[in-house]
């Protein structure tokens, strides 16, 4: 009887001593504004994952950790390895567009930490003042569009052509782009059945409004 008890205790000790510590994986990155060519501090960075999270399968993304980018724009996460399908890193800061990056779980392991630059762009308002300063008749028309806006939200400066007609045009439109950027506005003016086109570059101001006059 004593031998049997000693054998069980010995086995228990052996199993306990062979138990492995959980492996960890790490994410690190630096947040940049590519249009201003600067790092961005104070960005809320959220790490999410889908797949098996806490033993339950989730097809949607579940938040695992949050951090804030430091004075150099850097952040770091270290988490236990799990059966995740993919990860999503979300960047948020007032005055900036939300940015998200999806990372496949195949691209990260305990032996292969994930490290990469992450991009976030500041918002900028473009205010364009149109005025028909030399009217001909009621058929006067200006068509305008923005050729190279890197963002496409519903209220952003659009590549879709818009038209304004008449002799008494004196109006202002506002739309969004990114800060520190050269936004191209293209327009075609038609008067007396003669059309003339022109393109100009509007240099946007991060987190501010730039005013541009189109007099025709």
Name the residue range of residue 53's domain: 23-119
Domain boundary among 119, 142, 168: 119
27 plus 88 within the same structural domain? yes
Domain boundary among 88, 119, 150: 119
- Asked, for residue 9, whether it belongs to a domain, the answer is no
pLDDT value of residue 21: 57
pLDDT value of residue 190: 98
- Asked, for residue 4, whether it belongs to a domain, the answer is no
- Asked, for residue 14, whether it belongs to a domain, the answer is no
**What average pLDDT does range 179-184 have in this prediction?**
97
Domain boundary among 119, 151, 175: 119
**What average pLDDT does range 111-136 have in this prediction?**
97
Exposed e or buried b per residue across 190-214, where buried means at least 16 C-beta atoms within 10 angstroms of its C-beta: bbeeeeeeeeeebebebeeebebeb
Alpha-carbon radius of gyration of the chain: 28
**Dist CA 44 CA 35 (whole Å):** 20
108 plus 75 within the same structural domain? yes
| pLDDT tens by residue, 54-72 | 777 878 999 999 999 999 9
């Amino acid at each position: 009887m004593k031998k049997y008890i000693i054998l069980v205790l010995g086995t228990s000790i052996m199993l306990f001593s062979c138990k492995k510590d959980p492996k960890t994986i790490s994410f690190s990155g630096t947040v940049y504004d590519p249009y201003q060519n600067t790092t961005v501090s104070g960005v809320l960075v959220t790490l999410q994952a889908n797949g098996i999270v806490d033993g339950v399968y989730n097809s949607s993304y579940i938040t695992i950790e949050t951090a804030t980018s430091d004075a150099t724009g850097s952040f770091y996460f270290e988490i236990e390895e799990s059966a995740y399908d993919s990860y999503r890193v979300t960047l948020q800061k007032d005055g900036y567009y939300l940015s998200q990056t999806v990372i496949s779980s195949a691209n990260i392991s305990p032996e292969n930490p994930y490290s990469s630059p992450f991009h976030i762009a500041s918002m900028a308002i473009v205010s364009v003042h149109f005025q028909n300063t030399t009217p001909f008749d009621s058929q006067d028309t200006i068509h305008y569009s923005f050729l190279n806006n890197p963002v496409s939200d519903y209220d952003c400066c659009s590549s879709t052509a818009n038209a304004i007609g008449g002799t008494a045009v004196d109006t202002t439109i506002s739309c969004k782009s990114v800060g520190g950027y050269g936004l191209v506005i293209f327009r075609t003016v038609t008067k007396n059945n003669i059309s003339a086109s022109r393109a100009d570059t509007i240099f946007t101001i991060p987190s501010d409004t730039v005013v541009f006059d189109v007099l025709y």
